[in-house]
Amino acid sequence: MPRGYFITFEGLDGSGKTTQIRRLAATLEAEGHKVVTMRNPGGTALGDRIRSVLLDSKSEDTVGQIAPAAEMALMFADRAQSIAEIILPALAAGNIILCDRYTDSSEAYQGGGRQLGSQRVLAMHAAACDNLQPDLTILLLPSLESSLKRARRRNQRQVAQQGTDENRFERESDDFYRRIYEKYKEIASREPHRVVTIDRNGGIEEIEKDIHDIVAKRISAAKPTLKASIVEA
């Protein structure tokens, strides 16, 4: 059975992952690959509902304060569903999956940010995800200061323009983000083959080229025959 290639993108809020995923998907598609793009949380019917509970700061009015362990479990419920509905079928069909956030986000945000610790998160990853690991993780980790500035600007713009309020995480303190940043660095040094860190504060095009170079090299080493068109999940 053909097996595709599973790539995740990680970083702080505002690190530019979403733009880079869109660009990489377009380039890979133009090169003839089959690409599936997706995000955690969300992307399945169940995941979209979990996402709105988790991210909408107004959800605290309806569900009360979400306990850190409940937050972690909801992230993994979403992830388990996306593995079953999207990731495993796409891998079986030989596609390249570009996933915006995965278990490293849970380890960084819930393990580091919320201080649950890596062990609890990794135990949940084993239980809920059968330890499914990406083949490659691109970690966009420019300086903490520039990421925070961008995330806050973006959130203010979103609230002003669309009235949407996906900012429960973005109301957190700088210490929360500092712990996430440090946890990401720890993950990258623990798994240097899987996790490639891009830490320069370059422009979008330069970073896009860095990412494409890394991905092209890895894919051609692993899967010389991956081909075809884009599918939006």
Q: Which is nearer to ligand TYD, 31 or 174 (CB)?
A: 174
CB distance 33 to 228 below 8 Å: yes
H or E stretch covering 50 = helix 45-55
Which residue lies nearer to ligand TYD by CB, 75 or 86? 75
Residues 151-170 contacting ligand TYD, CB under 6 A: 166, 169
Residues 6+ apart with CB under 8 A from 174: 148
Tell me the site size for ligand TYD, rule CB under 6 A: 17
| CA neighbor of 99 nearest in space, from 189, 229, 197, 233 | 233
Q: What part of residues 87-106 is at the interface with ligand TYD (CB under 6 A)?
A: 100-101, 105-106
Q: 55 or 196: whose CB is closer to ligand TYD?
A: 55
Residue 95 CA to residue 56 CA, distance in Å, equals: 32
Q: Which of 76, 85, 5, 6 is nearest to 41 (CA)?
A: 76
Report if residue 75 touches ligand TYD, rule: CB under 6 A: yes
Instruction: State which residue has the least CB distance to ligand TYD.
Output: 109
Given a contact cutoff of 8 angstroms between Cβ atoms, the answer to whether 7 and 134 are in contact is yes
109 lies in the binding site for ligand TYD (CB under 6 A): yes
Q: Are 116 and 76 in contact (CB under 8 A)?
A: no
Closest separation in Å from C-beta 32 to ligand TYD? 28
Q: Scanning residues 168 to 227, which ones bind ligand TYD (CB under 6 A)?
A: 169
User: Residue 33 or 101: which CB sits closer to ligand TYD?
Assistant: 101
Min separation Cβ 63 and ligand TYD, Å: 16
By CB under 6 A, the residues from 11 to 70 that bind ligand TYD are 13-14, 17-18, 39-41, 55
Q: Which is nearer to ligand TYD, 101 or 183 (CB)?
A: 101
Phi and psi torsions of 99, nearest 5°? -115, 125
Closest C-alpha among 218, 4, 219 to residue 91: 4
Instruction: Provide the minimum distance between the beta carbon of 174 and ligand TYD in the complex, in angstroms, as a whole number.
Output: 14
What does the alpha-carbon distance between residue 34 and residue 186 come to, in Å, rounded to a whole number?
Answer: 32
Which CB sits closer to ligand TYD, 10 or 135?
Answer: 10
Query: Whose CA is closest to 78, among 57, 51, 56?
Result: 51
Nearest distance, CB of residue 204 and ligand TYD, angstroms: 15
C-alpha span between 135 and 8 (Å, rounded) = 8
Tell me if 137 contacts ligand TYD by CB under 6 A: no
Query: Would you tell me which residues interact with ligand TYD (CB under 6 A)?
Result: 13-14, 17-18, 39-41, 55, 75, 100-101, 105-106, 109-110, 166, 169
